[in-house]
Amino acid sequence: MRSDRVKKGIERAPHRSLMYATGVSKKSMERPFIGIVSSFTDLIPGHTGMRDLERFIEKGVHSGGGQSFIFSVPGVCDGISMGHVGMHYSLPTRELIADMIESVTMAHALDGLVLLTNCDKITPGMLLAAGRLNVPCIVVTAGPMMTGNYKNIRRDFITDTFEAMGQCQAGLITRDELDRLEMSACPGQGSCQGLFTANTMACVSEALGMSLPYCATALAGFAEKRRIAQESGEVICRLVREDIKPRDIMTAQAFDNAIAIDMALGGSTNTALHIPAIAHECGIRIPMERFDEISRQVPNISSLKPAGIYYMEDFHFAGGIPAAMQQLGANIHDCLTLSGLTTAQIAAQAINYNQEVIRTMDNPVKKEGGIAVLKGNLAPGGSVIKQTAVSDAMRHFSGTARVFNSEEMAMEAIMGKQIKAGDVVVIRYEGPRGGPGMREMLAPTAAIMGMGLGEKVCLITDGRFSGGTRGPCIGHISPEAAAGGPIAAVQEGDTIIIDLDSRSLHLDITDEEIARRMERVVHPEPKIKTGWLARYARQVTSADTGAVME
């Protein structure tokens, strides 16, 4: 066992003494050492219930013959950090989490890891560590939140807080109604109720084979989630005994499966950052174009929030990821999973209880999958859009550029009702380097939707979007402005042409004019010049690489 290097031999007497001091028995010293990497915090609703799940994972590890040790990593709630300086820190925590797990696992020679996670950057950070370390790992996601209820109508975080904010600003609802909505939208523990980034990454983890069947969708606080947690503790001990490691599971075909599930469900565009980054740690290259290739092959078979009408609870009760894989058929490769079953065996055992929630291939919601990759003279390295969240009327759009060098400047104009029908809101210097940290633009997009401009205005950015974003919003424009990308050359009043069918994003000026403008571009001063984010900005790459660190 890996842990033998800290517990075997005469020269390890001091090491054993310290471990005995933690309460480890002499008999338990013979067991595999299993780290339970907990991201529990009181700060994030998706993580407040993890103390309970830690107990059940511990039970499973003990039942499976292991010795468990809990250690912790931090988390940032994207919703709470949204719209202020805090959002600069969200994406970079992905790298910190991976680095922390690597540090503790290597320093203490752990034999295996249970990765207890849930929310946006924490799950990919843990998967980065799994691919990098390549020691036996299993992922337990803490589960989606149940919907809220107000006026006997189900409510969710995005529609009933962020979009309601725009509705209140536009005079469509009263301040009192906004107060009631914000009290009702999030009733308790769990990740936000739609297929936003947290739940998308949970689905990706299960589709990769890195968590047990139904783990992605089993609801927070429910007994089913406890049972999955305990079984995951037992399974990690088997994985250690059989030496089944993450790179045995996270193969090129498994990543294709994860993208196919993402496309079929209409998941968050943030997967176009996280999946390539996780694959990178496994020694596999996934270009942005792979998302578009699979999206053209795999239809959107579930109408999930924010693009659709159903919630994660509906998707789970309809059959979850196994039922979706069953419907996708040959679009899912038969791959090994940590459960001991292959993806084909899991799909064969699934039951689709509701073919309105999880549709068949011959009755899709949309004929193509969730994400489209657009290229052109404005995004030579590519850009992404959640095309399932765009109305047919907005798939082809030509508009007038309104240019802002920060989210705050754009938000001020939107809330000040300075954005009109026919505008293309351009938010730049918000990429991984320029942000720094590639902030999510949920507040501007939600405000645009809430003010009734969702089918009249486009928004493009070298930043990124929340999984809760809907409407014609194009992100991840690469190269970013701070890296010399042509989005830096856009001027107020330019015409921008967007065509989803031809996958193009075009600034309507000549290449020669773009080159002339780029020679004259004066980049703004870095927004943050000290601390961790200044180091991050110097090392991070553009979005088309997954924003990995050099």
The domain spanning residue 271 has which CATH number? 3.40.50.2300
pLDDT digits (tens, 9 = 90+) for 222-263: 999 999 999 999 999 999 999 999 999 999 999 999 999 999
- Asked if residue 321 is part of any domain, the answer here is yes
| Residues sharing a CB contact under 8 Å with residue 550, sequence separation 6 or more, in sequence order | 539, 540, 541
Is 392 labelled a binding residue?
no
How far, in whole angstroms, is CA 297 from its chain's centroid?
22
**Domain of 458, in residue numbers:** 371-545
* Model pLDDT, residue 34: 98
CA-based nearest residue to 413, from 470, 467, 451: 451
- Tell me: do 305 and 276 sit in the same domain: yes
b/e per residue 244-259 (b: at least 16 CB within 10 A): bbbbbbbbeebbbbbb
Give the pLDDT score at 261.
Answer: 98
Sheet holding 67-72, edge to edge: 67-72, 33-38, 112-117, 137-141
**Residues 386 and 440 both lie in one domain:** yes
**Tell me, what's the pLDDT at 103?**
98
Query: Are residues 325 and 440 both part of a single domain?
Result: no
Residue 491 lies in a domain: yes
Residue 18 belongs to some domain of the structure: no
What pLDDT sits at residue 454? 85
Question: Is residue 179 in a domain?
Answer: yes
The reported pLDDT for the residue numbered 310 is 97
User: Nearest 10 degrees: CA dihedral of 277, 281, 287, 291?
Assistant: -60
Angle at 360 between CA 354 and CA 293, to 5 degrees: 130
SS3 211: coil
CA distance 200 to 217: 10
3-state secondary structure of 232: helix
Residue 15 lies in a domain: no
Residue 493 and residue 483: Cα distance in Å, rounded? Answer: 23
Is 194 found in the same domain as 172? no
Residue 336 lies in a domain: yes
Cβ-Cβ contacts under 8 Å for 108 (sequence gap 6 or more): 3, 6, 33, 35, 69
Residues annotated catalytic, as ranges: 466
Residues 176 and 236 in one domain: no
Closest CA to 427 of 488, 498, 385: 488
CB 104 within 8 A of CB 35: yes
How far apart are the C-alpha atoms of 220 and 238, rounded to whole Å?
Answer: 26
Q: What is the pLDDT of residue 449?
A: 84
Q: Is 121 one of the annotated binding-site residues? A: yes
Residues 378, 345 within the same domain? no
141, 165: one domain: no
Residue 529 annotated as part of some ligand binding site: no
What integer pLDDT is reported at residue 185 of this predicted model? 95
The answer to whether residues 182 and 193 belong to one domain is no
DSSP secondary structure string, 462-473?
Answer: SSB--TT--SSE
At residue 324, the pLDDT reads: 98
Q: Enter the DSSP assignment of 110.
A: -
Same domain flag for 163 and 251: no
Q: Is 440 annotated as a binding residue?
A: yes
Residue 493 lies in a domain: yes
In the chain, the number of structural domains is: 3
Per-residue pLDDT of the chain (550 residues; tens, 9 = 90+): 999 999 999 999 999 999 999 999 999 999 999 999 999 999 999 999 999 999 999 999 999 999 999 999 999 999 999 888 999 999 999 999 999 999 999 999 999 999 999 999 999 999 999 999 999 999 999 999 999 999 999 999 988 988 888 889 889 999 999 999 999 999 999 999 999 999 999 999 999 999 999 999 999 999 999 999 999 999 999 999 999 999 999 999 999 999 999 999 999 999 999 999 999 999 999 999 999 999 999 999 999 998 899 999 999 999 999 999 999 999 999 999 999 999 999 999 999 999 999 999 999 999 999 999 999 999 999 999 999 989 999 999 999 999 999 999 999 999 999 999 999 999 999 999 999 999 988 788 888 888 888 889 999 999 998 877 788 999 999 999 999 999 999 999 999 999 999 999 999 999 999 999 999 999 999 999 999 999 999 999 989 999 999 8
Supply the pLDDT for residue 235.
98
- Tell me, yes or no, whether 41 and 173 share the same domain: no
Q: Are residues 339 and 385 in the same domain?
A: no
Q: Do 222 and 115 fall within a single domain?
A: yes
Instruction: Extract the tokens encoding 97.
Output: 């989490």
